Each structure stands twice: as structure tokens, then as C-alpha cells.
Amino acid sequence: MASYPIRIRALLKGDVTSITAIVSHPMETGLRKDDAGKTIPPQYIQVLTVELNGKKVMESHLNTAVSTNPVFNFKIKGAKLGDKIVVNWVDNTGEKGSGETTVIPG
Amino acid sequence: MNNISRISLLAAALLTLVAAAHADGDYRAQALSMMKQDFVTKGQASADRISEDGLQAICNRTGNKPPPEIAHRLEADQLAGVKLPADGKLLGDWKSGEQIAQSGRGFTWTDAPGLPVGGNCYNCHQIAPKETSFGTVGPSLFQFGKLRGNTAEMQKYVYSKIYNAKSFNLCSAMPRFGHIGALTEKQIKDLVGLLMDPESPVNK
Amino acid sequence: MKYRIAMAAILALTMQAASAQDKPAAAVPAGQKDATTLEFEKFRTQMEQEGNPAELFELQGEEFWKAKRGPKNVALTASCDLGLGVGVVKGAYVQMPRYFADAGKVMDAERRIVWCMVEKQGYKFDDLARRPFAGDNYTPEQTSLVTYVAAQSANMKFAVPLKDPHVREVYEIGKEVVAYRAGPYDFSCNTCHGADGKRIRMQNLPNLGTPQGALSAVLGWPGYRMTGSVMLTHQWRMSDCFRQQRFPQPKYASDTITALLTYMTANANGHMYKGLGIKR
Amino acid sequence: MNVTRRNILKHLGTGGALAALVVSGLMRPIAAFAGQWSKPSFESKDMAAAMKNLDAAAAVDSKDIVLTAPAIAENGAVVPVSVVSNIPNTTRISILVEKNPFPLAGSFEMTEGALPDVGVRLKFSQTSNVRAVVFAGGKAYMTQKEVKVTAGGCGG
């Protein structure tokens, strides 16, 4: 079972919270070959969502073009210090990952 | 000039310089013995590469600024070792020259041993205008032939410079591609073509 | 022989004519950078600030630092002194290389961490040195540890203790190492890194002898390399430079590498370390 | 997404019912996002097909979209692209890389409180235009710029 660390930051400045999500994920295109010349099967995040206090605020649908170990920058309004931000993702192979953080001053 | 007299010339130059060695020689000696201990053979990059040859030793001991009289004698000596093609034809195929100029492969511990290797030219020089990813360690060679004239003398200079850049500037940053056997006669001719041929994009 | 001398004379004359026209390509005045380099740096800095995958390795390294590990089942946080006391990581990275009396050697951060893993946790040096740098789907433990330790010095000033005579001596040796030409191509570090405003292909080449050049050479390490998506340390950078210099391979965590890192890092003393980097 | 559509989504809830609506032509797929990763859009092999499958074939150029990407990228494997839409009622931002094998790189749907301001890093197989498509008030808008991908040097 692979492990997929994730780091999330949510920084509040004025009334806008900047969310950074860094996800450990190979984002394999399915076009690369390994050293033995065998095609590496595609594995990439298809859906990534952001929740604020349990409510979905952003849903991203993604393709293989997103870089390995992807980094996302989102902005939301209406979050307060201490609010909970959760990021969930699921890839084309059914693997899932999730991480959470609280909103801190930016 | 034969090999023995070439070596004795180097030895004489070295002796002159050693006599003038200054205080940091101690750190250099320490650095040398440290490196001899710390480097190991990997792939084709054998551990003995860490030893300096005569010319390197002179440049290392003079901060790449040998006294002019020594430099001039040794440059002439290096030039004397340049082997010009027997057929006297120096202008090769510029298209093949462009490929050689593009390739930076050769002599590292991850490169397959043996020839041919690349010329590494674009790593340091601007050459054909189409290639915008070029280095600036050396001067721009764009329009080289156009600016200098595609004369027999200039072709000879270019061939000799690529064969052994130290023939003209003893401590030049440029490798001695022919002298060390990195580039073949044909490859150097093709590079001369790239720089000198009026049809080469370099001179358009 | 006669022919050669004649040729030499002709060539010498031709060359003088030629060198008068030799101008640097894309004429970049010393200390300035071309537009492409500036564009690269702008977006690299932006990415470092807006989210660096290196942080994933920092997370991993923190776990390794705090957990009891190795044959002796000891945590580094409870046993390893990076120069500021056992377990202290804040500010340690920017004050290395330094002299460690317990080892009797000047050590850079990675070398010190490896020393701790061997001496305190009981790992075998040869095992750690077998595959010391990251590759496809593989990151050595010590790389993550260096990443964690380095991140705890972000926004602090480099302060290699040059007043320590041990460190000063290694610094002076390092200065000789960067100037040493050898190998089939006659290259030294300084062949590429000894002047301002130079590039290999599109890569800017910092001048290691100047504070600004040394700074740009030490900033961004350890760094996440976009090519191959791997986390690499400054030790790796040194080793790979020697590869491209056509030198033999330097032994992992050796004196020579420490000497180089001492020279470069101390030349950047007084300047701010910006934390984990992103590299091409 | 307009209010009516959102209400329909809320009330119908399930993907099956939604798909039925799409098929029956009652609802155009422009708003049918939630939960459905659109295979036809993501597997489109050229820009025109991708735009059509996104229901954005009629997208008009807009100066109110701020698309930021390097003019020349250091590494085609990691090109930072960000899009800010200043068009009112923006509900979705899609990013496409014209010369990639599959141009559509990602779509971002803003719901409660998210601002139309996203940053992501993308692979470029070669020098290419990158296009931002913004959906707002039932219409599609776009802007694009070129990113040059360079040959590599000795690295880092």
C-alpha cells in the first residue's frame, strides 16, 4: 500500500484564505516507459475537492497533464481563523488520499 | 619537435614555476592529497584522471596566467602537435557538424565509453541562430565565417583551435578535442564546415 | 618543422585578427542576467513560495528525525548534535559545515547526519553510501533528513564558523579544489564557475568566488528537482558537477565535498538562506 | 452555473438522473460537473474537440481573464499556470495545453465561497499555447498565451 503524504496550508489575509495543497502522487501519464522498455500504466488524480468545515467549496477534475507531486493554489472567501479545511482526492486506479488543516493568519 | 623534447620543455617550465611557488602551495598540496584519496573509478572515469598533466600543472600553479615567455613557448609546442588532415581538406559537412555541436555526450562516468563523442559546442558558444539554448562561457561563433572570411588560413586556424585550443591560449577554458582523441578528424572537419561554410546557417 | 613554424606564425596572426572580434554571446555585463534567466528565476521563486513538493520530503524527514530507528533503536532528536546541542535543528543548517570534536572533522549537514545515523543509530556507512542520492521512486532516508533539517533554517543567515581554525583550513583547501584543473577536458570548477554572467546552455553559472555567486550556488539546496521529480541534496550537486567535469567519482560524504561546501557556504556568510528550493 | 440549474442539481442529486437529463437534452452538459469526470473532454485529442466536448466551442475572447504562465519555461515537466477570472458569476475554469496529447489539463468548479482564482502546475510536451476557458452566466470565455519549452542544460 503506497503512502501519499499531503501538505496543506490555509492562510487568511483580509477576508481571503489562500489554500495550498501539495500532494505526493506520481501523476503517471501512461506514455512513459520504464528502464526495461515496459510502458508504465497511467496513474493520475482525477478528482480533487476542497471542503471548508465539511462543505465542498471547490471541485477539480484533472488529467495526466498535471505535474508529478502536484501543487494546487486556491482562494476562498468566508473562512475564519481556526476553520477546518479538508482536501480529498481520488485517482483513476481508485486510490484515495486526504489531508486537513486549520486556517491560520497569513 | 619530438615527444622527449616536448616533455623536457614542460619540465623546465614547471621548475621555473615551482621556484616561484607561494604560500598557498601548502593548501594546494593538501587539496591534492585529499582529492587523490577521495576520488574513485566509476565507469570510464578512472581515478587517475585526478592527476594533472604537465600543461594542467602549469595552469594550476599560475592561476591560469603563466608568464608570457613560458606560455608562448608552450603554445607553439602544443600547436606543433596538431595533426592536420593528410588530404589538406578542412571543410567538412556542416549538417553533421551541427549535430556534433549539439551533443554534450562523452567521457563522463555515465557515458558509454568509446567514440564518437559530442563536441559540447553549444554548451559554451552561440553558433547557429536557430538554437537559442546556448552557453556563454566562450565567445559567440554566430557568423564566424562571414565575419572572418572563409580563407584557407582561417580554416586551418579553426581546425587547429578545435584540435587543441591550448595552441593559442595555453590555459584556455576549451578542451583539447583532437589532442585527447575526443573528436576524430572527420568530426573536426564537419565542425569547421559548420563555422566556415557559406552555406551553413551560421553564416546566413 | 619549418612548415610548422610558418604555420604557427600565420595562425598566430590570424588569431589576433580573430580574437579582436570575439565578443561574448548575448553580451551580458558582469553581474547582470539575461531575460530568459530572469524569467526562469521569477517562476522558480514563485513556485518555491506558492508550494514546493520538497515539503513532502521535509514531512518524511521530520518523522525519521523523531522516530526511534536503526539497529540501536535510537531517535536522532535524542542523540544527534548538529552543532547547537543534541536534537537542536533550528538554525543548525546555516551554521554548517562546522568542526565536530566528537568526530574530529569538519562536516557539512549531510555528512553530519550520516555520521549520527552510523554512530548513534547503528546503521552501516557502506549501506548508506551504496545509493546515497534519490532516483526513480527512491529517496534515501538521509536525503529526507537533510531536507527536514535545512527547512528549519529557512530565513536565517548563513554563519559558517570561519573563525574556527579547523574550518578555516578546510575552507582554504576548498578554494584550491575549485581551482584544480584535471581530467580529459582540463576542467576545474572555476572553468565554468569562476566568472560572472556565464551560462551553460540556458543554465546560469554562479561565480563561486563572489558572495553573490556563492549565495546563488548554495541557495535552493536541498532542492526538489523538476526533472525526474526527485529530492536532491547539495552533496548530490557536488557529485554531479564532478561527473560533468569529467572527473572520477567523489566518495560519498568525503573530505573533498565538505571542503567545497565549506568554501561555497562560507562565501555566502551573512546572507539569508531562503529554505528548500526548486531546481530545473 | 445559474440558480435554476443548481436547484435542479440539488433536487435531483444522483448522477443517473442527471445523465438522463443530459441525454434527453433538457440540460446542457456545461453545468453537469459534480462527481462526473468527463471522459470525452479529457480524452479529446485536439483543441477543437476538447473545446466542443467542454461545450466551449463558442467561447469568446475576454480581457477579464488573467492567465499567468512563463513566456519561456525552464522545464516542460513543471510549468506553473494560474488563472484569475474577473468575469462576474464565474463558475468554472478549464485549462488546456494545445499541443499536449490530450489538451484538457483540468477543470476547476467553484461552489460556495471559492474565488475564480486557481494555480496549478502542468506538463507541456513541447512549446504550446495554453488556454484558459472561463464559464460564467451560462457562457464561455477564453484567453491564451504561448509558453516556450527549452532544451535542457546540465541541470540545477
Q: Pick from B1-10, B11-20, C197-206, D90-99 the range whose average pLDDT is largest.
A: D90-99
Q: Which of residues 123-162 of B touch C (CB under 8 A)?
A: 123-126, 133-137, 139-140, 142, 147-148, 153-154, 156-157, 160-161
Closest chain D residue to C52, measured at CA? D121
Q: Is the same domain home to B59 and B108? A: no
Confidence of residue C19 (pLDDT cuts 50, 70, 90): very low
ipTM exceeds 0.90: no
Residue A64, chain C, CB below 8 Å: the answer is no
Instruction: Provide the angle, in degrees to the nearest 10, between the axes of the packed helices B54-61 and B68-80.
Output: 160
Question: For the residues B75-82, what does the mean pLDDT come to?
Answer: 96
Q: Rounded to 5 degrees, what are φ and ψ at C159?
A: -150, 65
Per-residue pLDDT for chain A (106 aa), expressed as one digit of tens each?
457 899 999 999 999 999 999 999 999 999 888 888 999 999 999 999 999 999 999 999 999 999 999 999 999 999 999 999 999 999 999 999 999 999 999 9
- Confidence at residue D112, expressed as pLDDT on a 0 to 100 scale: 81
pLDDT surpasses 60 at B130: yes
Question: For the residues B42-58, what does the mean pLDDT come to?
Answer: 97
Closest chain D residue to B102, measured at CA? D151
- Confidence at residue B133, expressed as pLDDT on a 0 to 100 scale: 87
pLDDT surpasses 90 at C14: no
Cα D154 → chain centroid: 35
- How do D65-68 and D79-85 pair as beta strands? antiparallel
Confidence of residue B16 (pLDDT cuts 50, 70, 90): low
Residue C180, chain D, CB below 8 Å: the answer is no
- Confidence at residue D111, expressed as pLDDT on a 0 to 100 scale: 87
Chains that touch C (3 or more CB pairs under 8 A): A, B, D
- Confidence at residue C37, expressed as pLDDT on a 0 to 100 scale: 84
- Confidence at residue D35, expressed as pLDDT on a 0 to 100 scale: 59
Question: Which residue in the set A5, A9, A26 is minimally distant from C56, CB to CB?
Answer: A5
Confidence of residue C29 (pLDDT cuts 50, 70, 90): very low
Question: For the residues B54-59, what does the mean pLDDT come to?
Answer: 96
Question: Does D94 or B7 have the greater pLDDT score?
Answer: D94
- The tens digit of pLDDT for each residue in B30-45 reads 999 999 999 999 999 9
Here the cell at position B38 is 577521495
Q: Rounded to 5 degrees, what are φ and ψ at C204?
A: -70, 140
Confidence of residue C137 (pLDDT cuts 50, 70, 90): confident
Does B143 map to a domain?
yes
Q: Which residues contact B26 (CB under 8 A, 6 or more apart)?
A: none
End-to-end alpha carbon distance in chain A: 35
- Confidence at residue C93, expressed as pLDDT on a 0 to 100 scale: 98
Chains that touch D (3 or more CB pairs under 8 A): A, B, C
Structural domain range at position A76 = 6-105
Q: How far apart are CA A10 and CA A73, in angstroms?
A: 10
> Chains B vs A: touching, with 3+ CB pairs under 8 Å?
no
Instruction: Provide the angle, in degrees to the nearest 10, between the axes of the packed helices B152-163 and B185-196.
Output: 130
pTM: 0.87
Residue B21: how many CB atoms within 10 A of its CB?
Answer: 12
pLDDT surpasses 50 at C30: no
DSSP string, C178-247: HH--BTTTTB-HHHHHSSTTEEETTEEE--TTSHHHHHHHHTEEEEEETTTTEEE-HHHHHHHHHHHTT-
Question: For the residues C178-193, what does the mean pLDDT come to?
Answer: 97
With residue A87 as reference, give the H or E element that holds it.
strand A84-91
pLDDT over 90 percentage in chain C: 84
Q: How far apart are CA B118 and CA B115, in angstroms?
A: 9
Does D32 map to a domain?
yes
Q: Is the same domain home to D62 and D139? A: yes
Q: How far apart are CA D123 and CA C40, in angstroms?
A: 16
Beta bridge partners of D122: A66, D79
pLDDT surpasses 90 at B174: yes
Q: Is the same domain home to B196 and B129? A: yes
Q: How far apart are CA B178 and CA B196, in angstroms?
A: 18
- Confidence at residue C202, expressed as pLDDT on a 0 to 100 scale: 83
Does B187 map to a domain?
yes
Structural domain range at position B53 = 3-70
Residue A66, chain D, CB below 8 Å: the answer is yes
Here the cell at position B67 is 608568464
Q: Is the same domain home to D49 and D26? A: no
> What is the tally of structural domains in chain A?
1
Q: Is the same domain home to D23 and D76? A: no
Nearest chain D CA: its distance from B133 CA (Å): 6
- Torsion angle of C-alpha atoms B162, B164, B165, B168, degrees rounded to 10: -120
Q: Is the same domain home to B107 and B165? A: yes
Q: Is the same domain home to D61 and D131? A: yes
On whether the CB atoms of residues C209 and C267 are closer than 8 A, the answer is yes
- Confidence at residue A29, expressed as pLDDT on a 0 to 100 scale: 94
On whether the CB atoms of residues D140 and D55 are closer than 8 A, the answer is yes
Q: Which residues of chain D lie closer than 8 angstroms to A75, CB-CB?
A: 114-115, 117
Does D77 map to a domain?
yes
Q: Is the same domain home to B198 and B98? A: yes
Residue B182, chain C, CB below 8 Å: the answer is yes
Question: Does D13 or B138 have the greater pLDDT score?
Answer: B138
- Confidence at residue B24, expressed as pLDDT on a 0 to 100 scale: 56
**Secondary structure letter of residue A51 according to DSSP:** E
Q: Which residues of chain C lie closer than 8 angstroms to B47, CB-CB?
A: 248
- Reference C257, options C119, C102, C95, C109; nearest CA is C109
The domain spanning residue D72 has which CATH number? 2.60.40.2470
Does B111 map to a domain?
yes
Q: Is the same domain home to B41 and B100? A: no
Q: Is the same domain home to B121 and B196? A: yes
- Reference C162, options C65, C93, C256, C262; nearest CA is C262
Q: Where are the domains of chain C?
A: 33-272
Question: Which residue in the set C185, C188, C198 is minimally distant from B137, CB to CB?
Answer: C198
- Reference C11, options B30, B188, B160; nearest CA is B160
Confidence of residue B17 (pLDDT cuts 50, 70, 90): low
Does D19 map to a domain?
yes
Does D156 map to a domain?
no
Q: Is the same domain home to B52 and B138? A: no
Q: Rounded to 5 degrees, what are φ and ψ at B98?
A: -60, -40
Does A1 map to a domain?
no
Does D56 map to a domain?
yes
The domain spanning residue B146 has which CATH number? 1.10.760.10
- Confidence at residue B6, expressed as pLDDT on a 0 to 100 scale: 62
Tell me which of A23, A27, A29, A69 to substitute to probe the interface with C (most C C-beta atoms closer than 10 Å). A69
> Chains D vs B: touching, with 3+ CB pairs under 8 Å?
yes
Lowest mean pLDDT among B86-90, B149-153, D9-13: D9-13
C94 by Cβ neighbours in 10 Å (0-12 / 13-18 / 19+) ranks as: buried
Question: For the residues C197-210, what does the mean pLDDT come to?
Answer: 91
- Confidence at residue C34, expressed as pLDDT on a 0 to 100 scale: 77
Low-confidence ranges of chain D (pLDDT < 50): 1-32, 152-156
- Reference C107, options C257, C249, C242; nearest CA is C257
Structural domain range at position D1 = 1-36
Examine the residue annotation and report whether C241 is marked as an active-site residue of this protein: yes
Q: Is the same domain home to D48 and D12? A: no
> What is the tally of structural domains in chain B?
2
Q: Is the same domain home to D2 and D52? A: no
pLDDT surpasses 70 at C243: yes
Taking CA C139 as the corner, what is the angle to CA C133 and CA C141, rounded to the nearest 5 degrees? 90
pLDDT over 90 percentage in chain B: 85
- Confidence at residue B8, expressed as pLDDT on a 0 to 100 scale: 65
Q: Between chains, do C51 and A5 touch, taking CB under 8 Å as contact?
A: no
Q: Which residues of chain C lie closer than 8 angstroms to D72, CB-CB?
A: 36, 39-40
- Confidence at residue D72, expressed as pLDDT on a 0 to 100 scale: 94
> What is the tally of structural domains in chain D?
2
| HSE value, Cβ hemisphere, 13 Å, CA-based, for B3 | 0
Chains that touch B (3 or more CB pairs under 8 A): C, D
CATH superfamily of C33-272: Cytochrome c-like domain (1.10.760.10)
Cα–Cα distance list, B14 to B19, B144, C7, C125 (Å): 9, 36, 27, 41
Q: Is the same domain home to D121 and D53? A: yes
The domain spanning residue A91 has which CATH number? 2.60.40.10
Question: Does B95 or C36 have the greater pLDDT score?
Answer: B95
B139 by Cβ neighbours in 10 Å (0-12 / 13-18 / 19+) ranks as: middle
